[in-house]
Amino acid sequence: MIFFENYFGGGSDRHLINIVNALKDDFPDIIIVSNPPGLFKNDLKRLKKNVRMVHVQILTLVRIFDQFLKNSPRIIRILIRCLLIPFLPLMFLYNFCLCIFWLKLLKPTIVLGCDGGYPSARMTLLMILVAKLLSIKTVLSIVSMPSPKRKFFIVFDALLDKLVWLASDTVIVNAQTISNKLHNMRNMPKEKIVVIPNGLEDKQILVFRNIKLKKELRIGYLSRMDYEKGCTYLLNAFAKLEKKYSSIRLIMGGSGNASKRLFKMVDDYGLKEKIDILGYYAGEVHNLLSTFDIYVFPSLYEGLPYSILEAMRAGCAIVSTNVGGIPEVIRNNVDGLLVSPGSVDELEQTIETLINDHKFRASLGKNARKRFLEMYTLEIMNVRVRQLFKM
């Protein structure tokens, strides 16, 4: 049984689906349990096995505010949060009974709880705890960086950590950096951690790039358009570069909480003819990436993003921030160029280096694709997952 709490989709969903697909031949019955809507349509299309989907009516503050009150005015959200605080013990009791009910009903041999960045999905952690109380084998996956213990809740957080680590037989992370942070910040026992990097299916791409700066050099970004992804820093850097290089273009694909701001920035800079903001991109990602001469990923906070692996697979020359697990994947000056997060000047200077050096661009792209094939294909991930679940 796989349990997760999901509202927006993203890399954690993709990771979950890759695990399901890896185990399709080893487990005849895989059940995915989550709050509605669970997996989104695009995610369901990637499943290679018919699985049972069970939606459970969990009751958490995250669900209330991110699913039902997402677009409510801030003052209403604050008021409702204050009103709900006295009912938190009852909500916990309800969720606890809900976990027992579904575990007793489904009788799983293994429970896999899929989390984003620890300890974000508290309901997932509760399911792991209840499963352990019922003597069911447990695996917890964490695919983004953990948060530090809260200053005014340090005793509660320390107790939560201790219970979760006792209840988890194994913890899967997708980067060594996450493992180190969990150990140092949240006292995770190292012997329970298994590092399984994300994997992507390889797609043969015929890439025809402009080796030299000719008519137009395309700089691309393809990910969520959230402020934490650093996309506004990229647009600021491009605005400065465009003043010096008239034959460059910026293509940005994705949508998120920074989308409106990006459109306004394009207007303010007067760069409508130089910047294409595509919004949510429903086409073949690898086809779009293959048209980029330089791929820029300026995120401020990451685990091990699929966006980087997709750019490596496409043989892009990559400029990325050195956050999370990215430095484990991209060797600086070998497979790409790494910069500090939140620095427009550093982004500008590093992209400019690649604009002016077509041979270096080609070398970085070639090395990135080679490293992807050697270490980050879906086949390699599948082998690691199957070995882990032969418990």
The Cα angle at residue 167 between residues 162 and 169, in degrees rounded to 5:
115
Round to whole Å and give the CA distance between 315 and 206.
Answer: 10
- Which of 152 and 131 is assigned the larger pLDDT? 131
Question: 2-199+378-388, what's its fold?
Answer: Rossmann fold (3.40.50)
Residue for token pair 């009103």 = 83
User: Where would I find the beta strands (DSSP E) of 122-164?
Assistant: 137-144
> Please, what is the angle between helix 306-313 and helix 358-375, to 10°?
110
Pair 10, 66: CB distance under 8 Å = no
Confidence at residue 376, expressed as pLDDT on a 0 to 100 scale = 96
- In this prediction, residues 28-51 reach a mean pLDDT of 85
Over range 4-16, report the average pLDDT. 81
Contacts by residues 375-378 (CB-CB < 8 Å, ≥ 24 positions apart)? 375/197, 375/329, 376/197, 376/198, 376/199, 376/200, 376/309, 376/312, 376/329, 377/199, 377/200, 377/201, 377/202, 378/18, 378/199, 378/200, 378/201, 378/202
Residues in the chain: 391
Which residue spans of the chain are classified as CATH 3.40.50.2000? 2-199+378-388, 217-375
What is the CATH number assigned to the segment(s) 217-375? 3.40.50.2000
Reading the block at residue 109, the tokens are 């041999």
Q: Place 206 in a pLDDT band, splitting at 50, 70 and 90.
A: very low
Q: Are strands 337-339 and 317-321 parallel, antiparallel or unpaired?
A: parallel
- Long-range CB contact pairs, 83-92, < 8 A, 24+: 88/61, 91/59, 91/60, 91/61, 92/126
Query: Is the per-residue pLDDT at 384 higher than 50?
Result: yes
Lowest mean pLDDT across 62-76, 112-126, 347-361, 372-386: 62-76
**204 band by pLDDT with thresholds 50, 70 and 90:** low
- DSSP, collapsed to helix, strand or coil, labels residue 330 as coil
Residue 226 pLDDT: 94
Q: CA 133 to CA 100: how far, in whole Å?
A: 9
pLDDT, mean over the chain: 91
Backbone angles phi, psi at 138, to 5 degrees: -130, 145
Residue 97: is its pLDDT beyond 60? yes
**36 preceded by cis ω (within 30°)?**
no
130 has a pLDDT exceeding 60: yes
pLDDT, tens digit, 9 for 90 and up, residues 235-265: 999 999 999 999 999 999 999 999 999 999 9
Sequence-ordered list of residues with C-beta below 8 angstroms from that of 155, at least 6 positions apart, any chain = none
